[in-house]
Structure 1
Amino acid sequence: MKKETKLLLTAGAVLAGAAILSTRSRNHAPLKTVPRVDLNRYMGRWYEIARLPQRYEKACHCVYAEYSLHPGGGYVEVQNACRKGGPNGRLKMAEGKGFPVEGSNNSKLRVEFFWPFRGDYWVLELDPDYAYALVGAPDRESLWILSRTPTLDQDVLERLVQLAELKGFPVEHLLLTDQSCFTQG
C-alpha cells in the first residue's frame, strides 16, 4: 500500500471517529416547540433576561431585540441591540431576518444575520399573553429567556430555567443579563 493511501485512510478513520464521537456527545431527544406562534402578537420589543454565553454577546448589557413583519411579507425583520462593556457602553446593533420554517406554525425560525449563515430560533415556551418566552436551538448551544419588560418575576424565571434543564440545556452556564440601564429610576 502506498504511503499516501495509508495517510488518507488513517486521516479518514480519525475524522470518521471524531464525527461519531461528536454526534454521540450531542445526541439529544427531539426538542419540542410550542404548537403555534402568532407572529403579529410576537412582534415588538423583547428584553433578554438570561442567555447561554454566545461569542457575539460577550460583554453585552441592556440587551433587547425588536421584531417586525417585513411589509412585503415572508420574513421577520430582526434588530438586536446591546451596550458593550456596561450599561453606559457603546450601543451595538445587528440587523437580520427571520424566516419561518414551513410546517412549524411559526414556532421555528431560521435567523440570518450574515448571509448565507442561518441559525435556529425555536420558541420552546410562550406565555399565553406573550409576556415572556423561552427560545433555543435544537443543538442546545443557544438559549434565551425573553420578556416584554426588562425584569421578570423570579418564580417565572425559575420555572423557565427548570423547563430548559428538562429539555437538555446546560442551565448551569446561564448568564443573567444586566438590564440596569432600563430599570434605574
Structure 2
Amino acid sequence: MKQSTAIKIATGVAAAAIGGLFLYSRATRPPVINPRVPQPARPVDLARYAGKWFELARHENRFQKGLDAVTAEYTLEKDGKVRIVNSGLRAGDKERDVAEGLAIVADEATRAKLKVSFFGPLYTGDYWVLDHGDDYDWSIVGEPSGRYLWVLSRDPHPAPELAQALRERVEALGYDRWALRITRQD
C-alpha cells in the first residue's frame, strides 16, 4: 500500500472516530428544560461563593447519573482560577466518585459566568450562577443551552421554607421544577 493511501485511510478513520464521538455526545445530552435561559440575576463575589455546597436537586445528566450525597467544593486559586471538586455516592458504593476541575471567569463584569473544565483545556463547559442568596446560603446554577440545572445549598437539609422558595425561584427562572431530580443527602 502506498504511503499516501495509508495516510488517507488513517485520516478517514480518525475523522470518523471524532465524528462518532461528537454525535454520541450530542445524542446523550439531556433534553432542553428551559429554552429561554435568563442571564444571571446578580453579580457573584467568588470569595463568598467559595466553600462547600450540597446539591439539593439537578436536571439528571449522564455524568452524574445515579449519584446522591453530591457536594461541590470551590477554592479560589492565587491565579484567579477556581478549583472545583465535585463528588457523590452511587447506591451500594462505599467510596465517593470524584471529579476535579478548574474554572476561569468568563464575564468579569458580574463574575457570575465561568468556563469550567474537568477534562483539560480542550473541552470547557459554561457554568452560570443564575441566582444566589444574599448570604450565599443557596445558589441556582445553569448554562446557556437550558439542558442543565443544579440547586445548591450550604445546608444539606435546608428548612422547608427555603426548599419551597428555591423550587419557586427555579420556576421563576423559566425551568420546570418537576424535571428536577431531588438529590438525597443522607
TM-score normalized by the length of structure 1: 0.76
Kept in 1, the 8 Å contact 2:33–2:175? The answer is no
Cα RMSD for the two superposed structures: 2.0
Give 5+ residue unaligned stretches, structure 2. 1-31
**Structure 1 residues 104 and 172 mapped into 2: Cα distance closer, same or farther (>3 Å)?**
farther
Task: Return the offset for 1:128.
Answer: 0.8
* Deviation digits for residues 16-62 of structure 1 (CA, Å, limit 9, x no counterpart): xxxxxxxxx89833512132111111111000011110111111111
Aligned partner of 1:70 among 62, 77, 83: 77
Letter of the 1:55 counterpart: R
What is the DSSP-based 3-state SS (H/G/I as helix, E as strand, rest coil) of the residue aligned with 2:115? Answer: strand
Q: How does 1:103-114 map to 2 (within 5 A)?
A: 103-114=108-119
| Identical amino acids, percent of aligned pairs | 34
Give 5+ residue unaligned stretches, structure 1. 1-24, 181-185
Aligned length: 154
CA–CA separation in structure 1 for the residues paired with 2:133 and 2:174: 21
> Which structure 1 residue ranges, 4+ long, deviate > 3 Å from structure 2?
25-30
TM-score normalized by the length of structure 2: 0.75
* Deviation digits for residues 155-183 of structure 1 (CA, Å, limit 9, x no counterpart): 22222222222322232221111110xxx
**Structure 1 residues 162 and 26 mapped into 2: Cα distance closer, same or farther (>3 Å)?**
closer
Letter of the 2:98 counterpart: M
Q: How does 1:14-163 map to 2 (within 5 A)?
A: 28-29=35-36, 31-71=38-78, 73-86=79-92, 89-115=94-120, 116-163=122-169
